[in-house]
């Protein structure tokens, strides 16, 4: 065993999924070194390939067929086009499943059973297979057959009810998160689940079936807001940028721009007060403890806003940084990639793309000392690895040509 190899360099993943949640899990596994084979529809591929603009531009500055959305979710994979409606295509998928450790799919409940590619069918030919189905609502319950998207689940799962400015204020009303957070969290839970099943298989020799529902994920990630309700009986409400349990945490305006203040404990509050020239505030019974500050945040915020308005943002941030009080400006996405810390952590990389240009990729945040992650490879072109993968399965050039003529690949 190569101890310096990537953590999952021994793992094969058959990725039958598309859009975002399950493909995100596949990308996480690919980042960790797994061989992820992405099965796509001939001629069309994953829906996200066309979810643009923007599209990647080739060496002649002409738009390719790879949308930014697709490029964000599919690096490190190999692409093969297979028509699941055709018996020959179903046979190819079964052959891939025989060699796979993990299958990811996010078809509507029952769809793959029509093709003999469901969990029960594939585990008959590979008992060690870990098969994970990712859907909007899971494999059971009254909504099991209904499609779902991130936006809908953010609404149904309570996230939008606690996101956005509170009613009665400018801009008040429910808001979705600015990234498809339910899809991404579903992908993360999916990756954790299949890796847990893989670890268990090492002990038992048996595969498993995993049922992931996006609504379940959103309910699970209500976290402190769910428990606030369950403990108190009070329904959480939108509170803008203010934290419901820890204060002061909010956006405050300086003389030349906004700043984020994140006071996480009583000690940090004392340091904040010292910087602001208010050493008596921590002794004030209204503000002496976090619980009291939460109860009296309206009064405290008004005092803070008056003081912050007298400071230049850069100077205040420097003073609070030196004192150990978390604070900072609100960065645009462009600002993020200019940040010295982000640069130092090499969170942006450029990798050669088959179109003749380098494609930017946001790096994996996982960093291993003894098992370095593999060099990033670009998101594949549609069907880029057809011949390579089929050759590995034992197909000859004539076989591959016949499959292409028949519209199987």
Residue carrying the six token digits 């494609």: 359
220 alpha-carbon distance from chain centroid: 15
Contact 81, 109 (CB under 8 A): no
Active-site residue (options: 46, 150, 183, 216): 183
Whole-number Å distance between alpha carbons of 7 and 130: 18
Confirm whether 150 is a catalytic residue. no
Q: Comparing C-alpha atoms, which of 327, 334, 330 is closest to residue 348?
A: 334
Q: Is 56 left (phi over 0), alpha (psi -120 to 50) or beta?
A: beta
Residue carrying the six token digits 């130092």: 344
Dihedral sign for Cα 161, 167, 171, 173, please. positive
Rounded alpha-carbon distances, angstroms, from residue 60 to 13, 57, 319, 342, 357: 35, 7, 49, 30, 9
Which phi and psi angles does 226 have, rounded to 5°? -65, -45
DSSP secondary structure letter of residue 161? G
Longest dimension (CA), the chain: 84
Whole-number Å distance between alpha carbons of 50 and 66: 7
Residue carrying the six token digits 């940040």: 339
Neighbour-count burial for 11-45, b at 16+ CB within 10 Å, e otherwise: bbbbbbbbbbbbbbbbbbbbbbbbbbbbbbbbeeb
Whole-number Å distance between alpha carbons of 313 and 73: 36
Pairing verdict, β 208-213 and 358-362: unpaired
Which sequence positions are flagged as catalytic? 183
């Amino acid at each position: 065993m190569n101890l310096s190899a990537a953590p999952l360099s021994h793992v094969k993943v058959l990725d039958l999924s598309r859009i975002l949640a399950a493909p995100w899990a596949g990308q996480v596994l690919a980042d960790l070194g797994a061989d992820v084979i992405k099965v796509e529809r001939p001629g069309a591929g994953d829906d996200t390939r066309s979810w643009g603009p923007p599209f990647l531009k080739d060496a002649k500055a002409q738009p390719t067929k790879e949308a930014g959305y697709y490029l964000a979710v599919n690096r490190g994979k190999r692409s093969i086009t297979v028509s699941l409606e055709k018996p020959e295509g179903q046979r190819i998928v079964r052959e891939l499943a025989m060699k796979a450790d993990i299958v990811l799919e996010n078809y509507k409940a029952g769809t793959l059973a029509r093709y003999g590619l469901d969990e029960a069918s594939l585990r008959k030919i590979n008992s060690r297979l870990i098969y994970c189905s990712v859907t909007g609502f899971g494999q059971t319950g009254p909504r099991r057959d209904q499609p779902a998207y991130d936006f809908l689940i953010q609404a149904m799962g309570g996230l939008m009810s606690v996101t956005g400015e509170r009613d009665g204020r400018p801009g008040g009303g429910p808001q979705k998160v600015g990234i498809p957070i339910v899809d991404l969290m579903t992908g993360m839970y999916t990756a954790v689940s299949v890796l847990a099943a893989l670890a268990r298989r090492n002990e038992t020799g048996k595969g498993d079936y995993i049922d992931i529902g996006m609504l379940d994920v959103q309910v699970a990630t209500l976290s402190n807001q769910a428990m606030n309700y369950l403990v108190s009986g009070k329904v959480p409400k939108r509170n803008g940028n203010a934290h419901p349990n820890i204060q002061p945490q909010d956006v405050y305006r300086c003389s030349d721009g906004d700043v984020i203040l994140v006071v996480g404990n009583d000690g940090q509050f004392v340091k904040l007060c010292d910087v602001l020239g208010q050493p008596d505030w921590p002794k004030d019974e209204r503000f002496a403890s976090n619980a009291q500050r939460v109860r009296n945040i309206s009064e405290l915020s008004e005092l803070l806003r008056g003081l912050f308005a007298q400071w230049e943002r850069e100077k205040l941030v420097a003073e609070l940084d030196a004192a150990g009080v978390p604070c900072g400006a609100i960065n645009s996405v462009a600002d993020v990639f200019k940040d010295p810390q982000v640069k130092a952590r090499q969170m942006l990389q450029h990798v050669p793309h088959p179109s003749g240009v380098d494609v930017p990729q946001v790096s994996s945040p996982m960093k291993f000392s003894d098992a370095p992650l593999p060099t990033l490879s670009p998101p594949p072109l549609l069907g880029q690895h057809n011949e390579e993968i089929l050759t590995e399965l034992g197909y000859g050039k004539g076989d591959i040509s016949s499959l292409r003529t028949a519209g199987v690949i």
